[in-house]
């Protein structure tokens, strides 16, 4: 079972997670980190940028791999994950742009793009710490329910729900949202040496309960983290509200019972 830490708020989660990355980078300046898009990790990136600046940590040799990318969307489109990672992570933290990778969603080379990305991750020595959000349906990356737990980086068709959710980034126009994506597989994600999954808010509570305390199943892709030897799930109380073993998890604030991690 994953370690579960229940925090007071998003800021505390961000500090915790940023510190994991900062500690790694100080110990290993050529660290390989796994990056996620979505709103969940944004404060982590802000906290990391602040810590890097305050402690003058050299991040110039850090390599990074994003989880996913739209297929057929120009790399320089403001909503491509290449652009989003560049604007939210690479520039503010000060990473070297050429060392931060996203899968290549270019149509011309899409058939080989999954294998190319897998090879690139492998030749980097593998991901040291991967940060993840979770979808309300339990997805991680763009691995929607039903994705093989052994899957590798590949093309997927976006579900109608995900396209509707993401239409807000495309002027609310569903027709502008790409139909396909390329995403690291669940097997790829599980190869990371350490995984941090963050979730906030009541709308994530069902997915978290299924992922953490439910059976391991492709119908809740995040449940695959139960198979990982070093996965930590960081939650606010709302996202943790449907967990049954709440008294056994670690709390980072005083008025709660446990300091015991499971
Ligand atoms: P969110 O998305 O961080 O914007 O909630 C998470 C996800 O869909 O993986």
Query: 187 C-alpha vs ligand 1 centroid, how far in Å?
Result: 19
pLDDT tens digits, residue range 13-58? 999 999 999 999 999 999 999 999 999 999 999 999 999 999 999 9
Q: Is the pLDDT of residue 246 over 90?
A: no
The helix/strand/coil state of 236 is strand
Q: Is 206 a catalytic residue?
A: no
Please give the pLDDT value at position 254. Answer: 62
Q: Do 117 and 109 form a contact (C-beta atoms < 8 A)?
A: no
Q: Do 62 and 95 form a contact (C-beta atoms < 8 A)?
A: yes
Please give the pLDDT value at position 261. Answer: 42
Q: Is 68 a catalytic residue?
A: yes
Q: Is the pLDDT of residue 63 over 80?
A: yes
Average confidence (pLDDT) over 176-192: 97
pLDDT tens digits, residue range 220-242? 999 999 999 999 999 999 999 99
The H helix count followed by the E strand count for the chain is 8, 11
261 or 70, greater pLDDT = 70
pTM: 0.95
Q: Is 144 a catalytic residue?
A: yes
Q: Quote the radius of gyration of the chain (alpha carbons, Å).
A: 17
Ligand 1 contacts (CB < 6 A) are 38-40, 133-135, 139
Query: 142 C-alpha vs ligand 1 centroid, how far in Å?
Result: 10
Atom in ligand 1 nearest the alpha carbon of residue 140: 9
pLDDT tens digits, residue range 67-126? 999 999 999 999 999 999 999 999 999 999 999 999 999 999 999 999 999 999 999 999
Q: Is 191 a catalytic residue?
A: no
Dihedral angle sign, alpha carbons of residues 77, 81, 86, 87: positive
Q: Report the residue among 14, 38, 236 best suited for mutation to probe ligand 1: largest number of ligand atoms under 8 A from its CB.
A: 38
Atom in ligand 1 nearest the alpha carbon of residue 134: 9
Question: In what order do the strands lie in the sheet containing 180-183?
Answer: 68-70, 180-183, 154-157
Average confidence (pLDDT) over 147-162: 94
Per-residue pLDDT band for 262 (boundaries 50, 70, 90) equals very low
Q: Is the pLDDT of residue 256 over 70?
A: no
Atom in ligand 1 nearest the alpha carbon of residue 41: 3
Q: Report the residue among 40, 66, 130, 156 best suited for mutation to probe ligand 1: largest number of ligand atoms under 8 A from its CB.
A: 40
Mean pLDDT rounded to a whole number for the chain:
95
Please give the pLDDT value at position 178. Answer: 97
Do strands 194-199 and 231-236 pair parallel, antiparallel, or not at all (unpaired)?
A: parallel
The catalytic position among 137, 191, 228, 236 is 137
Give the rounded percent of residues in the chain with a pLDDT score beyond 90.
90
Query: 169 C-alpha vs ligand 1 centroid, how far in Å?
Result: 13
Please give the pLDDT value at position 248. Answer: 84
């Amino acid at each position: 079972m994953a370690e579960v830490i229940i925090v007071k708020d998003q800021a505390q989660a961000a500090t915790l997670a940023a510190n994991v990355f900062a500690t790694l980078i100080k110990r290993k300046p050529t660290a390989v980190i796994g990056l996620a898009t979505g709103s969940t990790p944004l404060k982590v990136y802000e906290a990391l940028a602040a810590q890097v600046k305050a402690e003058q940590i050299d991040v110039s040799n850090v390599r990074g791999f994003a989880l996913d990318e739209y297929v057929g969307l120009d790399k320089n489109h403001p909503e491509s994950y290449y652009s989003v990672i560049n604007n939210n992570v690479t520039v503010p933290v000060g990473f070297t742009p050429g060392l931060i990778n996203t899968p290549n969603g270019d149509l011309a080379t899409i058939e080989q793009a999954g294998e190319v990305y897998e090879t690139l991750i492998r030749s980097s020595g593998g991901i040291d710490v991967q940060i993840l959000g979770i979808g309300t349906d339990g997805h991680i990356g763009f691995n929607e329910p039903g994705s093989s737990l052994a899957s590798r980086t590949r093309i997927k068709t976006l579900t109608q729900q995900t396209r509707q959710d993401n239409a807000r980034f495309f002027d609310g126009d569903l027709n502008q949202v790409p139909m396909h994506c390329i995403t690291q597989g669940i097997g790829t994600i599980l190869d990371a040496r350490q995984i941090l999954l963050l979730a906030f808010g009541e709308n994530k509570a069902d997915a978290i309960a299924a992922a953490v305390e439910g059976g391991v199943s492709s119908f809740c892709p995040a449940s695959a983290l139960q198979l990982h030897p070093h996965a930590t799930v960081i939650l606010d109380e709302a996202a943790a509200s449907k967990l049954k073993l709440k008294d056994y998890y670690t709390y980072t604030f005083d008025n709660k019972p446990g300091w015991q991690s499971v």
